[in-house]
Amino acid sequence: MLKDKIVFVTGASRGIGKAIALEMAKNGADVAICYSSDGEAAEAVCTEIHALGRDAQAYRCDVSDYQQCSDTVKAAIAHFGRLDVLVNNAGITKDNLLLMMKEEEFDRVIATNLKGAFNMMKHAGAHFLKRKQGTIINIASVSGMMGNAGQANYAAAKAGLIGLTKTAARELAARGITCNAIAPGFITTDMTQQLTDKQRENIIATIPLKRMGQPEDIANLAVFLASPLAAYITGEVIKVDGGIYI
């Protein structure tokens, strides 16, 4: 479905980003990935992709840093020759109740989850514009659509990411570039490992499908959105959440 496409996935050393990188490769893509701290895990993802017969390259890049994003996009284009798809997946949580939330907790989450996507969209977007084609997929969250107690910073960043997605879709459509967001519900990754058993039980009780999602549930939709089958879809926010926000 993605034969010889070049896909860049941020935050792909583990979790949802790793699943997206692997699923893209299984469908014929070569993959550039970035990570912030765990180089060994990122190299292991590249090894798995090489075993699938596709090219892969890992870059250390803090997506909240504008210059690092510029350098990394340039390095990936130099290695792969071009980019076709950008997946903004890198994200963090620093949960706290609004009135307890430290300024640093708010700023860090906005810088990574929202400004990080802006940084990558600016640098990869300029390349897409020149080529008059490109696909951007932003990993948002149902928290950004419905709010979530304890996640003022995270929900604000993800709501902002949805606004960024819709604006980019409008601005870039005439240049042959699509931009969509995926809004996951609760997915089993390190991010949700922080939940206690009791919290997990309470959450599952509110999910109509009565289970947490798997990273592959998100990756499958990312592959579809990156493929020619989704060529006429832009500006959409698609939930993959087991029905938690119907």
The minimum distance between CB 139 and ligand NDP, in angstroms, equals 4
> Quick one: how far is CA 22 from the chain centroid?
14
Q: Identify the three-state secondary structure at position 226.
A: helix
What phi, psi does 232 have (nearest 5°)? -100, 15
153 binds ligand NDP (CB under 6 A): no
With CA atoms as reference, report the closest residue to 154 among 144, 146, 165, 145: 144
The minimum distance between CB 225 and ligand NDP, in angstroms, equals 15
The minimum distance between CB 48 and ligand NDP, in angstroms, equals 14
72 binds ligand NDP (CB under 6 A): no
Q: Which tokens hold the place of 34? A: 């970035």
Q: By CB under 6 A, name the one of 7, 8, 15, 30 that touches ligand NDP.
A: 15
In the sheet that 56-60 helps form, which strands lie side by side, from edge to edge? Answer: 56-60, 30-35, 6-9, 85-88, 134-139, 177-184, 237-240
152 binds ligand NDP (CB under 6 A): no
Residues in 76-105 that interact with ligand NDP by CB under 6 A: 89-92
Q: By CB under 6 A, name the one of 4, 37, 173, 206 that touches ligand NDP.
A: 37
With CA atoms as reference, report the closest residue to 85 among 13, 167, 154, 25: 25
> Quick one: how far is CA 93 from the chain centroid?
14
Residues 6+ apart with CB under 8 A from 64: 108, 111, 112, 115, 116, 119
Closest CB to ligand NDP among residues 60, 175: 60
The minimum distance between CB 92 and ligand NDP, in angstroms, equals 5
> Quick one: how far is CA 71 from the chain centroid?
19
Number of residues that bind ligand NDP (CB under 6 A): 32
The minimum distance between CB 15 and ligand NDP, in angstroms, equals 2
| Active site annotation includes 154 | yes
134 binds ligand NDP (CB under 6 A): no
180 binds ligand NDP (CB under 6 A): no
Q: What DSSP line would sit under 12-80, residue for residue?
A: -SSHHHHHHHHHHHHTT-EEEEEESS-HHHHHHHHHHHHHTT--EEEEE--TT-HHHHHHHHHHHHHHH
The minimum distance between CB 23 and ligand NDP, in angstroms, equals 13
Q: By CB under 6 A, name the one of 2, 7, 8, 17 that touches ligand NDP.
A: 17
234 binds ligand NDP (CB under 6 A): no
11 binds ligand NDP (CB under 6 A): yes
Of 35, 59, 66, 154, which residue is the catalytic one? 154
**Chain residues that interact with ligand NDP, rule: CB under 6 A:** 10-17, 34-38, 61-64, 89-92, 112-113, 139, 141, 184, 186-187, 189-192
- Active-site positions read 154
